Structure 1
Amino acid sequence: MSEHHQALALVLFSVFVAITLAITTWVSRNRHGSAEEFYAGGRLFSPMENGFAIAGDYMSAASFLGVTGLIALFGYDGLLYVVGFLVAWLVVLFFVAELVRNCGRFTLADVVAARMRERPVRVAVGTSSVTVSVLYLVAQMVGAGSLVALLFGGTSPPARSWTVIVVGALMVIYVSLGGMRATTWIQIVKAVLLLGGTVALTVLVLMRFHGDLDSLLRTAAERSGHGEAFLAPGLKYGGNWTARIDFISLGLALVLGTAGLPHILSRFYTVPTARAARRSVVWSVGLIGGFYLMTIVLGFGAAAVVGPDAVRESNTAGNTAVPLLALKLGGGAESAGGTVLFAMVAAIAFATILAVVAGITLASSASVAHDLYASLRRRRTGARSEVTVARVAAAGIGVVAIALGLLARDLNVAFLVGLAFAVSASANLPALIYSLFWRGFTTRGAVWAVYGGLVPALVLVLLSPVVSGSPDSLFPAVDFQYFPLQNPGIVSIPLGFVAGWLGTVTSGEQPDEAKHAETEVRSLTGAGAV
């Protein structure tokens, strides 16, 4: 990229960072240090504000960069991510949002441990939540690295590495100083920027083809080199039964995983009532739905205007399809329009990454402090001590995410998020669903449900083509691939539910009927909710 692209993109990105740091600084001066303020922003956000924040938290680099890249490279099969990410919100709306808001205070473990022995349940759910969050963070770090590689012409690995480190440092600052209130406003600003940029690009793509979607699709198919097969199922997930089962596995993970994501569930605690939580989801579904419809246009637009070969040459995983599309739509690399449009898209993508990593880091640090630290300490800890631990945990999680982000830099970000969703659906969702809807669910069942999904999911990923045994693996030079699927969801999700059932029926523990009745009334009516 030319120096103009680099300079303008960095200026716009610096402006966003300056604004968000100002928000964080202002919030840090006006906070009173309580756990409720740090974890839930004082529960003062309106449904519309929280809906925009949820959308900002959910529309990540996986959506803006990864999904559009997959559609540009694989056509119809890339649409699976769009469908999965969007349909998942129906599960959240109808089964999770209101009940979680009524039953918990700050984290997922609050809900699961409400009527059980708290310590083992909190340790299990806290461990799972941190694991899911770190996997999700890695995807955002990879997205940041891909953008920088494109910005500097792909010839500056040190710049790519330093950018991942800077993103990690900024997310720690946001969380440590501002907590949930600053993170929420950063996500709202980012959601507005992302939606505005996506609308502008979508309009430009449609204008390029005079509003003729048929012409857009036909051109994309012609330039793909696959012809009509580009618009039909099977280009990526077809050809043999292994690929087809992988397709089903990924779909299950995407649809079921959202309901167990810690950084999404924590957003339901930032509103004053369960009704507000439900209305927040309605707002977010509208915003997210519109965004994902536009990513379809952008993905096929990148295939038609840029071409899959050029996208793949820039980044083999397709993570740079949208910036390249913006460059072409603006008039090319040497034009003023191309420079401005590319810089805007790069800055929005950076803003997207920063806002999402802040939300994920806050949720994971809350799990460390509120669930793991508070449970493992013999004596009761104060709110201020817990918040201090959360700030320290944010730094530790940032270091781990940076290291893994540098390691996985050549994988598609949407694919990486699919792995996080698989672990979430395997470990967090069974424990959450059973605790909300099964009267006889016990402590052993909850612990077994979490570990019975978490351990198989991680082991199967380690033994899959993602890690070794193929040219696109993390370690292509070695081969310890024994599991043929790239996504473990089809195996690990049922195992989590079976383990929870088996742990319950073999525990011999008598459920506390009084606690269950209290939890049931609270979850359905909101009586006694914080």
Structure 2
Amino acid sequence: MIAANPVLNISIFGVFVLITLFVVYRASSMGTTSDYYAAGGGFNGAQNGIALSGDFLSAASFLGIAGAIAVYGYDGFLYSIGFLVGWLVNLLLVAELTRNTGRFTMGDVLSFRMRQRPVRAASAVSTIVISLAYMIAQMAGAGGLVALLLDVHSSGGQAVVITVVGFVMVAYVLVGGMKGTTWVQIIKAAMLMLCVLLITLFLLGKFGFSLTSLLQQAAEKNPLGERIFDPGAQYGENAMTKLDFVSLSLALVLGVAGLPHVLMRFYTVPDARQARRSVVWATCTMALFYICTLVIGYGAGAVSGTEAILAAPGGQNSAAPLLAYRVGGTVLLGVIAAVAFATILAVVAGLTLTASASFAHDVYANILRGGRADPDSEVRVARVTAVVIGAAAIAGGILVNGQNIAFLVALAFAFAASANLSTLLFSLFWRRFNTRGTLWGIYGGLGSCLLLVVFSPVVSGSPDSIAPGVDFAWFPLSNPGIVSIPVSFLCGYAGTLLGGGQVSRRRSAEMEVRSITGIGAG
């Protein structure tokens, strides 16, 4: 058990929150919708790339993956590989074309040559559902972390913590908009990278800078033994678990390009060249981070032991904080806690901003007001939506508290790949793609993914389900990506063939020229 120092931990976290709120306040510039949604396009590729890594490296990466590696070894590291490889899809197919075609949201791209109202509505629904799924995972991470730090075992105490984190996150968005949130993400990314590098060096030093010694002790303290170095410890039990792994891999690799908060970050740079540079910077930063998580994960198993990790409040998610305490005592634990909280706050702030921007820009400004909403009212609606989204995320986080964060985030990736990837690629590369194809692709992928998750072991039928006391799980896989992603592409294709309506050749040609050359991009 950790001899936590609640006063020290809360003090370090409080100092971080005050400093970043001050930065957000000083950086805030929200005179127009462009300022609030995209920071006026004023960040360069390096700044935006670091912010992208800060936006993407969530509690799943820092807490969930380290825990999965500590417990399952090689299979846990597969999350890192999937999260990282997925950025190649963004670099090669999405970043530049999206930046040139849209202004603020994914709905700008999808509706460019389609009927505005139904497509923007579908885009907003997809964005809000995916953002909520991602935010719920982060909130669950907040609950597990504080349970460990303050030795809070009651669900009521953890619910209070999740609520406090949610309120702070909403404050970032209300005060600073995209510019303030971006600076929080840059600060958080720098802190996170510094911490993981220092812990990695401390760990290697503890074992005489011998990675072999570290791995040998990790195997000795794990019931799986040397199986943690081979594939299959978690997903190799039978044919169904192997299929589940394939499904998970598809979701991780293809989901990155469909995440709304990642797509929105491409509008914070002035041009497509800087958007490409953003992805390169983000990929390099995250590659270094995930290499460190491999050492930290195995190191946590070697130093703490698998049984101690699973017995601690927060379960697998406690691996990195437990390691910090054993390596550097309460001070390092307090620092790691602050960084983990910063990770959760920064990611959830970005997700909240994306969801609120989608509702305000796509639904309020372009559907309800027909594109004639004034900037002040649009920003005001976005702020109100941020509060509502934050409250929903708090409730969801309390519901799934205790689940592995990396696993929960993988579900959000499945939603993103199922709902958004097919429609984005069809819109950008298939001239014949039409409004019906867009709607069928989004709703077909999103609906099938949601249906399969509800009737999967995630919700019921197993001891670690959200509702373990009941069993209505007729779909055997924990991640539905292998079914719902192809369903989305097939629905988009079939909807286009059955659409019947003529696609505007002028708008299609304009979109093609604009996406490739950037001519006319805002």
Q: How far is 1:315 from its partner?
A: 4.1
Kept in 2, the 8 Å contact 1:35–1:387? The answer is yes
Match of 1:287 in 2: 285
Relative to structure 2, which stretch is displaced further, 388-397 or 508-517? 508-517
Q: Does 1:370 align with 2:368?
A: no
Deviation at 1:276, TM superposition (A): 0.6
1:346 to 304, 329, 337: 337
Equivalents in 2 of 1:85, 1:409: separation in Å?
23
Give secondary structure in 2 for the equivalent of 1:320. helix
- Pair 1:359-2:350 in alignment: yes
Does residue 494 in structure 1 map to residue 486 in structure 2? yes
Equivalent position SS for 1:215 = helix
Call closer, same or farther: CA 1:316–1:305 in 2, change over 3 Å.
Answer: same
User: Helix, strand or coil for the counterpart of 1:269?
Assistant: helix
Unaligned stretches of 5+ in structure 2?
none
Distance 2:334 2:507 in 1: 56
Task: Say yes or no: does 1:507 pair with 2:505.
Answer: no
Give the match's secondary structure for 1:467. coil
Greater shift in the superposed pair: 439-448 or 162-171: 162-171
1:121 deviates by 0.6
CA–CA distance in 2 between the matches of 1:47 and 1:155?
43
Query: Which residue in 2 is equivalent to 1:110?
Result: 108
Tell me which residue corresponds to 1:43: 41
Contact 1:5 1:342 in 2 (8 A): no
In the other structure, the counterpart of 1:333 is: none
Give 1:345's aligned amino acid: I
Secondary structure of the corresponding residue to residue 224 of structure 1: coil
Alignment CA distance shift 1:3-1:328 (3 Å): closer
Given residue 491 of structure 1, which amino acid in structure 2 is its aligned partner?
Answer: V
User: Which residue in the other structure is 1:311 paired with?
Assistant: 309
Contact 1:431 1:449 (C-alpha < 8 Å) held by counterparts: yes
Q: 1:473 aligns with which of 435, 451, 465?
A: 465
Query: Matched residues in 1 for 2:487 and 2:115: separation?
Result: 23
1:420 lines up with 2:420 in the alignment: no
RMSD of aligned residue pairs (Cα, Å): 1.2
How far, CA to CA, are the matches of 1:10 and 1:479 in structure 2? 40
Of residues 235-244 and 310-319 in structure 1, the stretch that sits farther from structure 2 once superposed is 310-319
Q: 2:27 maps to what in 1?
A: 27
- Any idea what the Cα deviations from partners look like across 1:62-121, whole Å, max 9, x if unmatched? 000000000111111101101000101111111111111000000011111111111111
Change (3 A) 1:4 1:406: closer
Identity %, equivalent residues? 54
Looking at structure 1, the residues matched to 122 and 304 of structure 2 have their Cα atoms a distance apart, in angstroms, of 47
Give the residue type in structure 2 aligned to 1:73. V
Paired letter, 1:439: R
Q: What amino acid sits opposite 1:123 in the alignment?
A: A
Q: Measure the CA separation in 1 of the matches of 2:37 and 2:125.
A: 18
Amino acid at match of 2:133: L
Mark the CA change 1:473 to 1:144 in structure 2 (over 3 Å): closer, same or farther. Answer: same
Asked whether the 8 Å contact 1:258–1:424 carries over to 2, the reply is: yes
Partner of 2:150 in structure 1? 152
Letter in 2 for 1:11: S
| Corresponding position of 1:13 | 13
Distance apart, 1:24 and its partner CA: 2.2
CA distance in 2, matches of 1:96, 1:148: 37
Query: TM-score, with normalisation over the residues of structure 2?
Result: 0.98
Counterpart AA for 1:20: T
Residues 57 and 359, structure 1, Cα contact 8 Å, conserved in 2: yes
| Cα pair 2:151 2:313 within 8 Å, conserved | no
Q: 1:233 maps to what in 2?
A: 231
Deviations 1:177-221 (A, max 9, x none): 210000000000000100000001000111111111122112111
Is contact 1:42-1:270 (8 Å) kept? yes
Unaligned runs of 5+ in 1: 331-337
The answer (yes or no) to whether the contact 1:53–1:188 under 8 Å persists in 2 is: yes
> Are 2:42 and 2:270, in contact at CA under 8 Å, matched by a contact in 1?
yes
